[in-house]
Copies of this chain bind each other. A is one copy, B any other.
Amino acid sequence: MKKNCIVAQSGGPTVAINASLGGVIDGVIKSSKYDKIYGAIHGIQGVFKQEFLDLTESSDEFIDKLTKTPAMYLGSCRYKLPDIEENIQAYKDIFSVFESMNIGAFFYIGGNDSMDTVAKLAKYAESIGSDIKIAGVPKTIDNDLIETDHTPGFGSAAKYIAASVREMAYDTYIYDVNSVLIIEIMGRDAGWLTAASALARNEFSNAPHLIYLPEVAFDKETFISDIEKLMPTTKNIIIAVSEGIRDKDGNYISATTAAADKFGHAQLSGTGKCLELLVKERLGVKVRSVEINVLQRCAGHMASATDLKESFELGSMAVSLTESGNTGFMTTLTRTNSTPYEYSIASVPVSKVANQAKEVPTNWINASGNDVTKDMIDYIAPLIEGEVAGDYINGMVNYLDISHLVK
């Protein structure tokens, strides 16, 4: 008798995580070993609660539309499995559901925390001699998973950020007055997303003129000095800054700039706003700060075709690998050639990935700590390639119906 499969999504949304879901569904439907594919609602919690959608009859049209729909079709959770020693009952409950549904493989699409869940479930399966395969499929806009060249969702977020910064540069260049624009980009610990702003540059615009990543200790005097040096030659100075920049003592700048301290409201102001106040106070120049909002992780209308394709393949490869007996792995991307960009998909033991974070290499940041190098730009450039033709109805992108998540 053929076994069934369960797939679930976890962590923060991305533009590409539904593409990986599409890959898993497609892989199971085409599999000769598996029968049904069930989607658990709200991550692993949907397994506990036995809330499933039967996705086995998904049409090609459904899978195509799913692939282009941002955020998470199955919903998400922020639940971290307890250690086995701490609460074995949680594991017993999950595997009891698995057994009752005749499950042969469980696929979890997510980031660091989700890979921790995959590792724990695989370890438990081994400990009880279960042959249920446990597989991880990576995703995170932050690009901070190790053992993979990059992560699904990062390319689309990078494309959105680069496009936004370029459009804001066009918006900024129109006035014949000196100005500073500070653009705050997501990334609490890793600067990958902020680095992507460098792709906004072209033959006549060097915006962003300064880029600050959390990997470099931020010094506000150096920051002011960096701007002052540019001012004589650059009318409109555009700056990309990571939300997570910290001073040499590790304190977030959003909580420590002089301007912020003066009013005593660190908890209210983002990094960009703090730097805006600092520039206004110190340089008296026209200044504005903009926080690129949550669209950087959910703007399906600016998806990278490369990202969606790879994400889909990482999902279907996970199915293939379980079919051939693998478990406790995360599928990975390897860059096999730089120019032209080529990649292959493989896997690593998930225990190598869980709870680790990939930082930007130091030598991909310039010596002054206010820009990224050509290596960084060459690394990101192929990941934003390709556009996805949206399905528009009445002027609006027509994504998949997610009414099962709307309560």
- Which residues of A line the B interface, CB within 8 A? 13, 42, 45, 69-72, 75-78, 159, 162-164, 166-168, 170-171, 173-176, 199-200, 202-205, 234-236, 263-265, 268-269, 273, 277, 288, 290-295, 297-302, 304, 306, 381, 384-387, 390, 392, 394-397, 399, 401-403, 405-407
Contact = CB atoms under 8 A, between A and B. Distances in A.
Nearest to A382: B395
A400 to B, nearest CB: 9
Contact of A173 (B71, B173, B265, B269): B71
29 contacts: A72-B174, A75-B175, A76-B174, A159-B395, A162-B395, A162-B396, A164-B299, A166-B396, A167-B299, A167-B301, A168-B293, A168-B294, A171-B294, A171-B297, A174-B405, A202-B396, A203-B403, A204-B402, A205-B406, A235-B406, A236-B406, A264-B265, A268-B268, A288-B294, A291-B293, A301-B302, A304-B395, A381-B394, A387-B390
B167 A295 contact: yes
Which 4 pairs from chain A and chain B are nearest by CB? Answer: A204-B403, A384-B395, A71-B170, A171-B298
B42 A176 contact: yes
Q: How many copies does the complex hold?
A: 2
Contacts of A277: 268
A301 B45 contact: no
Nearest to A401: B204
A203 B288 CA distance: 38
